[in-house]
Amino acid sequence: MTHLVERGPTTDRFAGRHIADVMARVEAKNPGEPEFHQAVREVFRSLEPVLVRQPRYVEQRILERLVEPDRVISFGVNWVDDQGEIHVNRGYRVQMSSSIGPYKGGLRFHPSVNQGLLKFLAFEQTIKDSLTTLPMGGAKGGSDFDPKGRTESEIRRFCQSFMTELYPYIGEFTDVPAGDIGVGEREIGYLFGQYKRIAKRFVGSLTGKGIKWGGSAIRQEATGYGVVYFARDMLATRGDDLEGKTCLVSGSGNVAQFTVKKLLDMGACPVTLSDSDGFVHDAGGIDREKLEWVMELKQNRRGRIREYADRFPGVIYVPRAPGADNPLWSVPADCAFPGATQNEISARDAKHLVAGGVGLVAEGANMPTVPEAVDLFVESGVLYAPSKAANAGGVAVSGLEMAQNMQLTQWTPQEVDRRLQEIIQHIHDTVCRTAEEYGRPGDYVTGANVAGFVKVADAMLDESPI
């Protein structure tokens, strides 16, 4: 007999057993999906005291319902390259939860994309979107298509074919995808153009659109800016700020670029950037002029970060050695902003960061820190902001883009930025308050997991008690 049907007071032991049971079932039912297991385990480990307070979550099998996607859509994407050769990729959309709003979450084009990776991202997205204060559910999608080395026309043909398959499942009130790794404004343009070609309607079925065709001011900047606003709010709890702080940033795409930009606005000194080939360390600081050069390099020329070291004197370039520690995280600094990809900070990297003096880690990428490294940060008293709280600015401004589309209006950059800062402050305060309420003051992991979970769980109970 399963523990789930037991009634009566939910003790710590009972709640712990229930979580272990559900976790075991997640692993058995979703084999070969380690990132999904990791993301679920990461949230579940905060939930024991929540289940003790709210036995209905156990009775109503909320955990099991939450980890089962509403829908997983998988489709073939056939396209033709410039030489006339036919290629076949696989596309996906994981619609995880629509309990608090239409499905919402990005599309990732990267060779590592598979169903398990997207389930992890859709699960994280569900908790994150719940924290934003806006009515958005959780989803994620993408394809194992590798845009690297592809021409403009090949990328366009791929996007058009991808959208032809995805089209029936999305819409402004059902599911509203955005960008992620490998999907920026250019790709959103091709996807949106194809959506309109089929739908014969101009509606906000995607976010991250260009400012001249239904996009929102600050959407491109929002994730990077939001991470830095969150870091500012964390430091303020210790009477500190970012002025003069040496900062490590990884990645050199959308999130990393606008993290650097906002750090410069705040008087901080960003000193690193990376891509999948290696990283650059510019001890003198990446200033505005150098950042503009990086933006041109990455957005227009699709170049590699190693070119930064050729262009600017005194810069060290370190190529990536697969399997080894990432030496970027051994550079002494005050703050770290991982902005590339999942699991990019290992336990050993975390030790180097702490030894190098890092007192704050704010995650721009999704789940960039392995669980042992998270524990080390929390135990060491590092101000550590998990991605579901720290990088929620991107999807928050996507939500604001949806609101503007519905109202056929466009707010000024100042207005969107003001709302973004308000939302980030709200998330920060909610996370802190929740952590305190659960006896873990200053623990942003517990605060984010619990606050994000409870809102979704309560919506599930209101909408579909069994």
Instruction: Supply the minimum distance, in Å, between the C-beta of residue 320 and ligand NDP.
Output: 7
Residue with Cβ nearer ligand NDP (130 or 341): 341
Pair of tokens at residue 77: 């994407």
3-class DSSP assignment, residue 20: helix
User: What count of residues does the chain have?
Assistant: 466
Q: How far apart are the first and last CA of the chain?
A: 20
Query: Measured between alpha carbons, how far is 269 from 28 in angstroms, rounded to an integer?
Result: 46
Instruction: Supply the minimum distance, in Å, between the C-beta of residue 135 and ligand NDP.
Output: 18
Cα 458 to the chain's mean position, in Å?
Answer: 23
Among 184, 12, 13, 182, CA closest to 113: 182
Active-site residue 140, yes or no? yes
Radius of gyration of the chain (CA): 21
Instruction: Supply the minimum distance, in Å, between the C-beta of residue 296 and ligand NDP.
Output: 14
Residue with Cβ nearer ligand NDP (255 or 382): 255
Residue nearest to ligand NDP (CB): 253
Q: With contact defined as beta carbons under 8 Å apart, do 388 and 131 qualify? A: yes
Residue with Cβ nearer ligand NDP (94 or 256): 256
Query: Measured between alpha carbons, how far is 291 from 117 in angstroms, rounded to an integer?
Result: 31
Pair of tokens at residue 270: 């960003």
Angle, CA 216 vertex, CA 214 and CA 217 arms, to 5°: 135
Which is catalytic among the residues 104, 140, 261, 298? Answer: 140
Amino acid at 159: C
Query: Measured between alpha carbons, how far is 265 from 72 in angstroms, rounded to an integer?
Result: 41
Give CA separation, 234 vs 82, 227, 337, 437, in Å: 49, 11, 13, 18
3-class DSSP assignment, residue 346: coil
Instruction: Supply the minimum distance, in Å, between the C-beta of residue 352 and ligand NDP.
Output: 17
Residue with Cβ nearer ligand NDP (340 or 382): 340
Residue with Cβ nearer ligand NDP (219 or 232): 219
Residue with Cβ nearer ligand NDP (73 or 280): 280
Residue with Cβ nearer ligand NDP (276 or 380): 276
- 107 beta partners: 141
Instruction: Supply the minimum distance, in Å, between the C-beta of residue 19 and ligand NDP.
Output: 26
Instruction: Supply the minimum distance, in Å, between the C-beta of residue 205 and ligand NDP.
Output: 17
Site of interaction with ligand NDP (CB under 6 A): 179-182, 184, 223, 251-256, 275-277, 339-341, 364-366, 391, 394
Q: With contact defined as beta carbons under 8 Å apart, do 253 and 187 qualify? A: no
Among 379, 373, 392, CA closest to 442: 379
Instruction: Supply the minimum distance, in Å, between the C-beta of residue 280 and ligand NDP.
Output: 12
The sign of the torsion formed by the CA atoms of 17, 18, 19, 20 equals: positive
Q: β-strands 278-281, 272-275: how paired? A: antiparallel
Pair of tokens at residue 174: 């059902």
Among 118, 128, 24, CA closest to 71: 118
Residue with Cβ nearer ligand NDP (111 or 332): 111
Instruction: Supply the minimum distance, in Å, between the C-beta of residue 11 and ligand NDP.
Output: 38
Instruction: Supply the minimum distance, in Å, between the C-beta of residue 281 and ligand NDP.
Output: 16
3-state secondary structure 25-77: HHHHHCCCCHHHHHHHHHHHCCCHHHHHHCHHHHHCCHHHHHHCCCEEEEEEE
3-class DSSP assignment, residue 326: coil
Residue with Cβ nearer ligand NDP (60 or 342): 342
Known catalytic residues are 140
